[in-house]
Structure 1
Amino acid sequence: MTNDRRVLVHQNKQALAGSVAARFLTNMVDVLQEQDEAHVVLTGGSVGIAVLAAINESAARDTIDWSRVNFWWGDERWLPRADPERNELQARAALLDHIDVPRANIHAFGASDDPAETGTDPLEAAAARYTAELLAHAPEGAQYPRLDVTFLGVGPDGHVASLFPHRAGIREREASVITVRDSPKPPADRLSLTRPVLNSSDRVWLVLAGSDKASALGLALAGASRDEVPAAGIKGRHRTMFFVDSDAAAQVPENLIAPA
């Protein structure tokens, strides 16, 4: 299958979330017909969580054998486990707590109040643990699982996961997981998958809404450098989809817009 980038424009955020949810459920049916298990990377943000809530509300939700789906995260805020700002907690409330997915299939990043390892930097230790967990679920010879769908949001500055413009993280080529300190977006400390992991996904789905995202999306699609606009450096192995609302699509070239 050849890789391509497509932009699907929806009337508003609600329509966007519902459409992505329906497409995801259909995709999971297809994936689980072809292989024993699936690996999905989740994102935070208001639109990413709205998609999870729409999946939960769908009549087709329970057509999926969730015991065969593994969930990972693209990044996480370094906060206490029960902090409502954690991507994990928001995803659990929106979807994961409502489906029959085994606890072992939910691969959450570490939290700032997890038991500390003596003599180690807690944030670095959490990055090492997530790296090891990815490796444990990887095919022989690989560093991370075969990812079927990776959800990503895009910030107004073009960042994805916690890979920010003009920071070393977007240029990382070796590590699977990085620590982020002094983030330009609070909280200051974070954990993030790297670009090689994100780009290893069969399908990357970038989901964004709002006029404040229009410039970043337009630049990403116009060929900006990944250092300037990290979203420009993200491309799935088979397909890269931008699911956007009409406000976010204001600067998208007409030739890239596909029927929703």
Structure 2
Amino acid sequence: MTRPEPRVEVHPDADTLATTVAGALLERLVEAQAAGREPNLGLTGGTIAEAIHREVARLGPASGVDWSRVVIWWGDERFVEAGSPERNAAQARAAFIDPLGIPRHRVHEVASSGECPTAEEAADIYSAAIREHGAGEFEVLMFGLGPDGHLASLFPGHAGLRATDRIAIAVHDSPKPPPERVSLTYEAFDRSRAVWFLVSGEGKADAVARTLGADATDGDLATRRETTPAVGVHGVQETVWFLDRAAASRL
């Protein structure tokens, strides 16, 4: 199936980017619910994601979104103790999930290291939850982008890049601490109506240019992903790169 080419939006700064993405997300959720869908939302972590989450909390009460009908997931998670501030879920809960009163049974966290003996078991439990409670697709799946071109917890050269027939996998020896993680796979990414990349700062500019440039070249996708994992991740309906001016500076 042919998917639309990525769209790039460049915003003056990180604050403008955060407000724009939050507004676009709320509109998307309202439209999905109006069409009779119960939207499954895949979150990411990081500084710009935290800013977006705060804007969602600010704008959310008046948005028209029925928060009891939004299902929350994460594209990846750090396999650490449940109370650790390193967990993406902890940040999102504090920033907007709890303030907006999203019901606990709609929020699907990856099991922590205190709940599972291994990241492999946590990945299996998470995969089973997506099969049971997911809608077969993400309404919106959001990603940050690492300076090395990684997304979720799929890093250059790591075995997870080559995972097949898996929804979620364990990641060991992550080059970015903490070393133990759980990540969705490319096959899970492909089940997304919309894929949004949220990228801020000059430190990401080379990775942005490399990813979007590689997207437009011929060659084997799997080979290109070995060095730039974010290459070729597209939503069924749309793929949007939300960038601030600094992140777009090498395009």
TM-score (norm 1): 0.89
Separation in 2 of the partners of 1:2 and 1:230?
18
Letter in 1 for 2:122: A
* SS of equivalent to 2:157: coil
Separation in 2 of the partners of 1:61 and 1:81?
31
Superposed CA offset, 1:41-69 (max 9, x none) = 00000111111111111165552101110
Superposed CA offset, 1:76-132 (max 9, x none) = 011111111110000001100111311110000011112x4xxxx522111111011
Alignment of 1:1-260 (within 5 A): 3-58=4-59, 61-114=62-115, 116=116, 121-138=117-134, 145-223=136-214, 225-252=224-251
Alignment correspondent of 1:142: none
Superposed CA offset, 1:156-194 (max 9, x none) = 000000000111212222111100011010001000000
- The 1:38/1:18 distance shift into structure 2, 3 A limit, reads same
Letter in 1 for 2:133: H
Q: C-alpha root-mean-square deviation of aligned residues, in Å? A: 1.5
* SS of equivalent to 2:192: coil
Structure 1 regions of 5+ residues with no counterpart? 140-144, 253-260
Q: Is the 8 A contact 1:200 1:237 kept in 2?
A: yes
Separation in 1 of the partners of 2:35 and 2:76?
28
- The 1:113/1:59 distance shift into structure 2, 3 A limit, reads closer
Question: How many residue pairs were aligned?
Answer: 242
TM-score (norm 2): 0.92
Q: Is the 8 A contact 1:219 1:229 kept in 2?
A: yes
- The 1:127/1:163 distance shift into structure 2, 3 A limit, reads same
- The 1:245/1:171 distance shift into structure 2, 3 A limit, reads same
Separation in 2 of the partners of 1:176 and 1:61?
34
* SS of equivalent to 2:241: strand
Separation in 2 of the partners of 1:132 and 1:251?
41
Which region of structure 1 is more displaced relative to structure 2, 168-177 or 71-80? Answer: 168-177
Identity among equivalent pairs (%) = 38
* SS of equivalent to 1:248: coil
- The 1:61/1:169 distance shift into structure 2, 3 A limit, reads farther
